[in-house]
Amino acid sequence: MSHPADLCHPRSGVHPHPGSRHAGKVLETDAALGRIRRATGLPVAFGGSVACDGRALRLTEFAGTMTPALNGLVVSTGNGLGGRVVSTARPARVEDYAADPRISHEYDAPVTAEGLRAIAAVPVALGGSVLAVLYAGTREPLTVGTRALEAMGQVAARVATELTVRREVQRRLTELETAAARSRTGHAAPEWEDVRQAHADLRTIAQEITDPALRTRLRQICALLSGPTTVPPSVVALSVREVDVLAMVAVGCTNAEAARRLGLLPETVKSYLRNAMRKLGTHGRIETVATARRHGFLP
């Protein structure tokens, strides 16, 4: 799904065909639309982002559509089914779109051109604001059940969580860019603590998300923060979990705190720490962290 800011700077006249992927997406909603179709059993799913000012929604993502009728459609807040979802921040559904008296009908032409009858829509909300809307529909007039609507809400909540994670990652990266700029002016010492805290925080976030692609990207960012790894022949490379634990220790976490942040048991944290010490040939927490930094496992 396009970032909400995309609607502030629309690409003039260029819209991808339904089902196509377009570059620069903040969220991979192809997977979200697939989850909606599987969870609801409805053949069509689509969605779009809300503009920065909250006045409109543009449909950009599609699965199961047969025509380009809905592609790039801009829905004003308060109008149609999706516009009502944006204005109320609540799910909504209709049994027969064109005949339903509860919604305005500015968008009947593209909806009927696609042949859609029953449609449900749910908000992707973050911090009280609706950032996007996800839809599911069918070409038969029927009632979209409560269970299907709840399933759509769960998918929307997952998308909102991914947005939250990405915003936090961006915030941390901005902090790191600021730290790097300051370090070039000779004020590096306090900023390195910011870098190390951000590194630990990103590794914590990586444990809280379910999207494997996003988790991989976070791991890659953490590796960039640490710099090139130079492991001597006598040292076996540390595992991801061992580095996770060392990152927590490096910012002052106790074993219990590290366990809480990483979703592990305290005894498991101790085991990873012992393994890291054995591999690095160290005998204490401070020495182990210092050695891990020297070899590029930590920033």
Query: Mean pLDDT over residues 133-154, rounded?
Result: 93
As a dihedral over the C-alpha atoms of residue 122, residue 128, residue 130, residue 135, rounded to 10 degrees, the angle is -10
Both 151 and 201 in a single domain? no
Of 114, 133, 160, which residue is a domain's last?
Answer: 160
Q: What is the pLDDT of residues 46-94, one digit of tens each?
A: 999 999 889 999 999 999 999 999 999 999 999 999 999 999 999 999 9
- Tell whether 220 is covered by a domain: yes
Question: Which CATH number do you get for residue 197?
Answer: 1.10.10.10
Of 160, 190, 221, which residue is a domain's last?
Answer: 160
Residue 106 near residue 73, CB atoms below 8 Å: no
Both 130 and 272 in a single domain? no
Both 155 and 168 in a single domain? no
3-state secondary structure of 124: strand
Report the range of poorest mean pLDDT among 10-24, 107-121, 122-136, 157-171. 10-24
Q: What is the pLDDT of residues 9-22, one digit of tens each?
A: 333 232 333 333 33
Distances in Å between the Cα of 58 and the Cα atoms of 17, 46, 61, 75 are 14, 11, 9, 6
**What is the reported pLDDT for 8?**
43
**Domains of the chain: total:** 2
**What is the reported pLDDT for 23?**
30
Both 26 and 87 in a single domain? yes
- Tell whether 181 is covered by a domain: yes
Both 91 and 181 in a single domain? no
- Tell whether 143 is covered by a domain: yes
Q: What is the pLDDT of residues 227-284, one digit of tens each?
A: 677 767 667 789 999 999 999 999 999 999 999 989 899 999 999 999 999 999 999 9
- Tell whether 28 is covered by a domain: yes
* pLDDT over threshold 60, residue 125: yes
* pLDDT over threshold 50, residue 6: no
In the chain, DSSP finds a helix count (H) and a strand count (E) of 10, 6
Q: What is the pLDDT of residues 156-202, one digit of tens each?
A: 998 888 888 777 777 766 766 666 566 555 554 446 677 787 788 87
Query: Per residue, what are the HEC states of 41-86?
Result: CCCEEEEEEECCCCCEEEEEEEECCCCCCCCCCEEECCCHHHHHHH
CA distance 246 to 270: 11
Question: Nearest-CA neighbor of 29 among 57, 62, 51, 7?
Answer: 62
3-state secondary structure of 252: coil
Which region holds residue 73: left if phi is over 0, alpha if psi is between -120 and 50, else beta?
beta
- Tell whether 299 is covered by a domain: no
CA distance 41 to 137: 9
**What is the reported pLDDT for 26?**
39
3-state secondary structure of 255: helix
Total Cβ atoms within 10 A of residue 153: 17
Both 9 and 105 in a single domain? yes
- Mean pLDDT, the chain, integer: 82
Tokens, residue 155? 């998918």
Of 132, 160, 188, which residue is a domain's last?
Answer: 160
Both 41 and 109 in a single domain? yes
Query: Mean pLDDT over residues 26-36, rounded?
Result: 73
Residue 63 near residue 30, CB atoms below 8 Å: yes
When pLDDT is cut at 50, 70 and 90, the band that residue 5 belongs to is: very low
3-state secondary structure of 259: helix
Q: Domain residues for 71?
A: 4-160
**Bridge partner residues of 118 (DSSP):** 138
Q: What is the pLDDT of residues 197-230, one digit of tens each?
A: 778 887 887 777 767 777 777 777 777 777 677 7
pTM attached to this predicted model: 0.62
Both 30 and 176 in a single domain? no
**What is the reported pLDDT for 78?**
94
Q: What is the pLDDT of residues 170-183, one digit of tens each?
A: 776 676 666 656 65
